[in-house]
Every structure is written in structure tokens, then in C-alpha cells.
Amino acid sequence: MIIPSRPLSATRPSTNSASATTSTARIIPKAFSSVSTFESGASAKKAPTTPTTPVPAPQVPVEDVPPKSDPRYDGLKDQALINALHDAVSKHKNLGYDQARKIIFTTLDNHDGVVACVYTGKEVKTNKIPSSNVMNTEHTWPQSKGATGAAKADLHHLFPTDSKANSVRGNYPFGTVTKVKWEENGAKFGTDAQGRTVFEPPDAHKGNVARALFYFSTVYNKDIPPQDEAVLKEWNKLDKVDAAEIARNDAIETYQQNRNPFVDDASLADRIADF
């Protein structure tokens, strides 16, 4: 359950820039996420009936990307840091949901004509928004829990997911599954050690999920329940920022004119005791 929003101090003018550019090289997604409900939308005329599952590639060590510190946050922590982060990145261009989905499936997460589910790794060949029966748009922070209005279209927490994984996740919180009811390619659904029903992304996407939720909480003034926050902070350390996540952050900045500061410097999350 999401606790009601807390008040923020008066915001300062945003100082974002939109100078970053996307790389022309193919970026291999780190991993895979899901959305709270099926989302209808424009469908491809000849969309594939089912996504294909690629043969797992050999595991290659991922080089960690050094954090990019920002002097605006020096010496700040807890609510003072949350306020400064909010002031810096909350003002951004609202693309609208249709445009956001088009960007995801045609450029942002489309690599050589292929889009992969961040949970299962299933791939779809497409140059447009595919049928929702095949692949959907994941709201890492569910619509039913506050991802409405501009938040619904915010690319920093949206990812492509195949429809089955999307449906399985529903709007359940993220957590560590100890009793598995469903799993595929590292993604799991079931109950945690406390008996809560939770969804667990594969290891390579755990950090992406954590940093997306830290961003959402900061920008949209939404609390993260303590039990969820503890798991997310573990994942933030387990799955560190890599070049693919930085490149995606750079690309989103060109569309929205804001960045996810927790991707630029994942250690910021450690300086906030309570999101």
C-alpha cells in the first residue's frame, strides 16, 4: 500500500539540461520488468502471435560505471536531499502516453528492430507499438498506485514487457520470492519470507527497478513502504549501474529534458533514510 504523499519544501527553479545524446551502438538491455494492467493501444498490422525466447548468451562480466557526482547535492541527506533532487529533475516534458510508448518501441528500447522484455528476455521484431497481446509497457510504479497524469508517461519508469509477465506481476510490490508460483528466465512470482505476494525481477534488472522507484518517489512525492525500501536498497547495490543504463538515461534526457539522478549516482539512495 502506498502511504499518502508527504509535503515538500518550496521548490527551486529546475536546472536540468538536455544536452545528452543517444549512442548509435546497439545497447543490450541488462534485464527485464512488468506493468500493473494490460494496456490497450495501437497494434501492429502483422504483429507476431507470440514473442520468441532467445537462447541465453554466455555471462560476461559487466563493467561498473563510476558515479557522476553533482555539487548541488553535496552535504545533503534525507529530506533536504529529497527536496534538492525534486527541484532539480521534477520539471520535465510530458510526452503523453501514446508518444512515450512509441518512443519505447521504435527507438529507446528498440535495438536493430528487436525489443526485449525486461523480465523474461522474450523478443519481438517490430518498428511500431506491438499488439498488447504480445508486449506491453511496464509501469514499474503501477498506475493503480499513483502513476497517473504525467507520471503515466514518464519514461524513467517505463519498460517493455511481454504480456504474460505483465499480467503475472499485476500491481504487486517487488520483493524476494521464497515460495515460487511462477518463474521464467530469472523472473519470479510468489510469496516472500513474510508471506507477502511479491514479484521479483531477474538479477540484471533489480537495480534498474530500484533506481526507477527511487526516482518516481522523489519526483512525484510518493512514499515507498519501509519493507519494500529495504529490498530495493539491497538491489541497488547488487545490480550496479552499467553502460546500458547510462545510455538509456542519456536518451531519455533528450526526450524529457530530465535525468534519473539515481542512475547518475546510485549512492544517493544511501543518503536517504526514508523514501
Q: Is residue 31 part of a domain?
A: no
From 260, 186, 193, 257, select the one nearest 231 (Cα to Cα): 193
Q: Is residue 2 part of a domain?
A: no
Q: Which of 198, 210, 155, 215 is nearest to 31 (CA)?
A: 210
Cell reading at 87: 527541484
Domain interval for residue 87 = 78-271
DSSP lists the bridge partners of residue 139 as 158
DSSP symbol at 104 = I
Is the separation of the CB atoms in 162 and 119 below 8 Å? yes
High-pLDDT (> 70) share of the chain, %: 77
C-alpha span between 225 and 247 (Å, rounded): 30
- Distance between CA 192 and CA 10 in Å, rounded? 39
Domain assignment present for 157: yes
Task: For 31-57, give one letter per residue: b (16+ CB within 10 A) or e.
Answer: bbbbbbeebebeebeebeeebeeeeee
Residue type for 35, please? Answer: V
Asked if residue 43 is part of any domain, the answer here is no
Q: Is 96 part of a structural domain of the chain?
A: yes
Q: Using the 8-state DSSP alphabet, how is residue 128 labeled?
A: S
**DSSP 3-state assignment of 254?**
helix
What is the full DSSP assignment across 184-229?
A: ETTEEEEE-TTS-EEEE--HHHHHHHHHHHHHHHHHHT----HHHH
Number of domains in the chain: 1
C-alpha–C-alpha distance, residues 28 and 147, integer Å: 27
pLDDT in tens, 13-50: 333 433 333 333 333 344 333 333 323 333 333 344 44
Q: pLDDT tens track of the chain, all 275 residues?
A: 333 334 333 333 333 433 333 333 333 344 333 333 323 333 333 344 445 544 333 333 445 678 888 999 999 999 999 999 999 999 999 999 999 999 999 999 999 999 999 999 999 999 999 999 999 999 999 999 999 999 999 999 999 999 999 999 999 999 999 999 999 999 999 999 999 999 999 999 999 999 999 999 999 999 999 999 999 999 999 999 999 999 999 999 999 999 999 999 999 999 999 99
**Is 208 part of any domain?**
yes
Residue 20 lies in a domain: no
Q: Is residue 22 part of a domain?
A: no
Over residues 251-261, the pLDDT tens digits come to: 999 999 999 99
Q: What angle do CA 36, 34, 108 make, to 5 degrees?
A: 120
